[in-house]
Structure 1
Amino acid sequence: MNEKLLQYLWNFKIFNKYNFKDTEGNSIEIEDFGTWNTNAGPDFLMAKIRIKEITLHGNIELHMKSSDWIFHQHSTDANYNNIILHVVYEEDADIAELKINNISTLELKNHIDANIIEKYKKLLTETQFIACENIFRPEKIPFLFFEESLVKKLEDKSVEIEQELKKYQNNYEAVLFHSLAYSFGLKVNAELFKLIAESVDFGIINKIRQNNVQLEALFFGIADWLENPEDAPMKVWQTEYYFLKTKFGISDLKIRPKFLRLRPPNFPTIRLSQLAHLYYQEKNLFSKVINATTTEELLQIFTAVKASEYWDNHYNFGKISPVQSPKLISKDFAELILLNSILPLKFAYQKYHQEEITDEILDYYRELSAEKNSIMVGWKDLGVKIKNALESQALIYHYKNYCTPKNCLNCSIGFKILKEE
């Protein structure tokens, strides 16, 4: 038992009996348990109780032990002047000032099912995929859990996007470019690709985007791959990069993406070439993704993108591959781009413009395939049938924000588990 759990039980009124009496034996009727206060001050605000035939309105403070009132120095804090009830798990001391002010103390130890405390202790100490997996069943997932979790994720992402917009003077095109670079980098190179994108003003991208060779040269040069050209195309990229570097005063950053643990189609050489081709091919990319009304429209933007011809028989510079084929963006990768960049930006943009498109955005997610990763394997092993990206995205968000930090008291699944007999 801890104070956080005590507050949780009080907020959701989870007790095995409600015949409350104060430590002096007076009956207490709780007409309103109050509003849980997550900021500084009393734990529950605007409560209403009836004791000794008197109705009281005010705040309630909870502690594990009554002596915590002294240890927490509430006596000298004006925020606690309007306390009408002191609720404790265990009374271990008389608090003189509370008695003088006729503030009753309610001890909850005999009102709380010991089974709940044991469940909570076990959740905090379990080390499996999720803390509750031994008692979890798919039917414990609440109604609208997936939709609500995904909307929370999109709201969180909107905050990040708004911060990026402030940083780049409300330039949605630049924010989209940085986000796409992050997505093209995948997990291994996401941060490095974003650094490459942020290292040049987006205005430079706009000025040279009609020239695919220059776009590639810019990306490859910043990645520090053109210092010692091994063939004729590399010499062309090197010449173009030196020209752009001088013309636009580009810093010599030398951001080196990684190849380790990547399959050849995901090599940073291929992905940066594809990113260059995307901006060469789509002159009004931001408008196009914002105005798209179907998943198919969005997917077509990206599945039409391919690396330049040099990469038809290369995966790295100067090394000819025996297999020759255009390096197109696959449907799976296009869907990943939509999930990580496009749909969160569409949501944030419409929200900023006070247009309600939550249901429309959720429909996009329903039409995309569920991700395949270790988190999905974990949920599937627990019997969860994941039908689409809406459900996989919701489960990933829930796992990272509730299961991993063992935030069970704020988890809708945990609520059902703790309440059930």
Structure 2
Amino acid sequence: MTEKLLQYLWNFKVFKNFDFKDIEGNAIEVINFGKWNTDAGPDFLFATIKTNNLVLSGNIELHVKSSDWIFHNHSKDPNYQNIILHVVFQNDVEIEEFNDRKIPTLELKNFIDENILWKYEKLITEDHFIPCEGIFNINSIPINFHEENILKKLDSKSQELEKNLEQSKNNFEAVLFQSLAYSFGLKVNAFIFRQIAESIDHSIINKIRQNKFQMEALLFGISGWLDSPQDEQMEIWKREFDFVKVKYQISDINFRPKFLRLRPPNFPTVRLSQLADLYYQHQNLFSKIILIKNTDELLNVFKNVQASEYWNNHFNFGKISTINQPKTLSPDFIELIILNTVLPLKYTYHKYHNEEIADEIIEFYKNLSPEKNSIIDSWKKLGIKMNHSMETQSLIYHFKSCCEEKNCLQCSIGLRLLKDPTNRGAS
């Protein structure tokens, strides 16, 4: 038993029965279990109980053992003066001040199903893909589970974007460019690409985006790749970069994106060229994606984006490749950009003045393909079928926010598994 679990059981009222009596045998009727307090102070606020024909309103404190009241030094803390009930798993010592203040103590040891304790022990100790793997079943997934996860993910992402908007003086175009750069960088170069985007005043991007070579030259130059040209095309990019650098007073900064552990199509050279082409093709990119309400139209924004002709037979500067073909964005990569960048920004932009935006965004998720990765493969092994990206995005978010951190007590699946008396897990 942990105090966190005890609070959880009290909050969700997971007990064998509610014929509560204090340690002296007096009946206790809990009229209101109180509001779970996640900040400092008593565990549950605004509670109401009835005992000895008296109705008491105030706060409730929970401990694994009654002696924890002493160890936690609550007696001298003014935040604990309005306690009406001390709830413990085990009453190991008598608290004299409770006798003086006539505060009842409720011992819960005999009101909690031992199967719940056994299941919780398995959740926090066993090493599986998800903590509840040994007792998991598909029926434990609540209705609207995926929609709720998507909205939580969007709200979390929206908070990040709002911080970025504050830093950029509410410039959605600049935040879109930074977010797209992050996505184009993938895991290896995401932060570096974002730093590159943030280092450029977005007014410069707006001024040179009609010149694709200048856009490429700026991104390549800031990356530190044009110092020693190795062929004629690099010479052209270097001249363009030197011109832009002087004209717009760009400081000397080299970010040096990484090539290690990347497949050649994902090399930063190719991805930055594609990012430049995206902004060259769509002069009003933010306005365009914000207004789009059709998934096919959104996909078409990225459909014809490709790296410049130089990269048809190159993956790195000065090194001709035996592979000669246009470096376009793959369908999977396009959907990744939409899922991780476009939809969260659309949600953030519209959420304060479009009450239906959540439903619209969820429809976008439902019209995009299910993702393929190791997390999704592991969910599939548990018997879960996924038909679209709303389900895969939901399960990825749930794994990272709950399962990976073993936040089983904050998990709607965990609640069902713990409460289900028929689920005793695998033998």
Q: For the superposition of Structure 1 and Structure 2, which TM-score range results when normalised by the shorter chain?
A: over 0.9
Report the counterpart of residue 34 of structure 1 in structure 2.
Answer: 34
Report the counterpart of residue 74 of structure 1 in structure 2.
Answer: 74
| Structure 2: runs of 5+ lacking an equivalent | 422-427
In the TM superposition, what whole-angstrom CA distance separates every residue of 1:341-396 from its partner, at most 9, and x where no partner exists?
A: 00000001111445431000000000001111111111011111111110111111
Q: Give the aligned residue type for 2:185.
A: G
Q: Distance in 2 between matches of 1:49 and 1:109?
A: 19
Report the counterpart of residue 266 of structure 1 in structure 2.
Answer: 266
Report the counterpart of residue 246 of structure 1 in structure 2.
Answer: 246
3-state SS in 1 of match to 2:351: helix
Report the counterpart of residue 116 of structure 2 in structure 1.
Answer: 116
3-state SS in 2 of match to 1:116: helix
Counterparts of 1:338-357 in structure 2, within 5 Å, are 338-353=338-353, 355-357=355-357
Q: Give the aligned residue type for 2:356.
A: E
Report the Cα offset of residue 324 of structure 1: 2.1
Q: Distance in 2 between matches of 1:328 and 1:50?
A: 70
Q: Distance in 2 between matches of 1:255 and 1:190?
A: 12
Q: Distance in 1 between matches of 2:337 and 2:329?
A: 10
In the TM superposition, what whole-angstrom CA distance separates every residue of 1:390-417 from its partner, at most 9, and x where no partner exists?
A: 0111111100010011000010000111
Report the counterpart of residue 214 of structure 1 in structure 2.
Answer: 214
Report the counterpart of residue 88 of structure 2 in structure 1.
Answer: 88
Q: Distance in 2 between matches of 1:405 and 1:292?
A: 36
- The TM-score normalised by the length of structure 2 is 0.96
User: Is 1:314 aligned to residue 314 of structure 2?
Assistant: yes
Q: How many residues align?
A: 421
In the TM superposition, what whole-angstrom CA distance separates every residue of 1:215-274 from its partner, at most 9, and x where no partner exists?
A: 000011111111111111100001111111222222222111122222222111111001
Q: Distance in 2 between matches of 1:238 and 1:355?
A: 49
Q: Give the aligned residue type for 1:284.
A: N
Q: Distance in 2 between matches of 1:209 and 1:283?
A: 7
Q: Give the aligned residue type for 2:415.
A: F
Report the counterpart of residue 301 of structure 1 in structure 2.
Answer: 301
3-state SS in 2 of match to 1:17: coil
Q: Which moved more, 1:309-318 or 1:140-149?
A: 309-318
Q: Give the aligned residue type for 1:62.
A: L
Identity %: 61
Report the counterpart of residue 161 of structure 1 in structure 2.
Answer: 161
Report the counterpart of residue 424 of structure 2 in structure 1.
Answer: none
Q: Distance in 2 between matches of 1:90 and 1:356?
A: 50
Q: Distance in 1 between matches of 2:61 and 2:101?
A: 15
Report the counterpart of residue 22 of structure 1 in structure 2.
Answer: 22
Compute the RMSD of aligned alpha carbons.
Answer: 1.1
3-state SS in 2 of match to 1:132: coil
| Structure 1: runs of 5+ lacking an equivalent | none
Report the Cα offset of residue 211 of structure 1: 0.6
In the TM superposition, what whole-angstrom CA distance separates every residue of 1:126-163 from its partner, at most 9, and x where no partner exists?
A: 11111111111222111110000010000000000000
Report the counterpart of residue 125 of structure 1 in structure 2.
Answer: 125
3-state SS in 1 of match to 2:55: strand
Q: Distance in 2 between matches of 1:372 and 1:69?
A: 50
Q: Distance in 1 between matches of 2:50 and 2:139?
A: 40
Q: Give the aligned residue type for 2:190.
A: A
Report the counterpart of residue 183 of structure 1 in structure 2.
Answer: 183
Report the counterpart of residue 378 of structure 2 in structure 1.
Answer: 378
3-state SS in 2 of match to 1:219: helix
Q: Give the aligned residue type for 1:232.
A: E
Report the Cα offset of residue 57 of structure 1: 1.5
Q: Distance in 1 between matches of 2:65 and 2:136?
A: 33
Q: Distance in 2 between matches of 1:311 and 1:117?
A: 60
Q: Which moved more, 1:130-139 or 1:148-157?
A: 130-139
Q: Distance in 2 between matches of 1:42 and 1:56?
A: 16
Report the Cα offset of residue 164 of structure 1: 0.2
Report the Cα offset of residue 39 of structure 1: 1.4
Report the Cα offset of residue 42 of structure 1: 1.2
Report the counterpart of residue 411 of structure 1 in structure 2.
Answer: 411
Q: Distance in 2 between matches of 1:185 and 1:166?
A: 23
Q: Distance in 1 between matches of 2:355 and 2:27?
A: 52
Q: Distance in 1 between matches of 2:25 and 2:175?
A: 63
Q: Which moved more, 1:72-81 or 1:186-195?
A: 72-81
Report the Cα offset of residue 212 of structure 1: 0.5
Q: Kindly tell me: are residues 354 and 80 of structure 1, through their superposed partners in 2, closer, same or farther at Cα, counting changes over 3 Å?
A: farther
Q: Distance in 1 between matches of 2:60 and 2:140?
A: 32
Report the Cα offset of residue 322 of structure 1: 2.5
Q: Distance in 1 between matches of 2:263 and 2:339?
A: 21
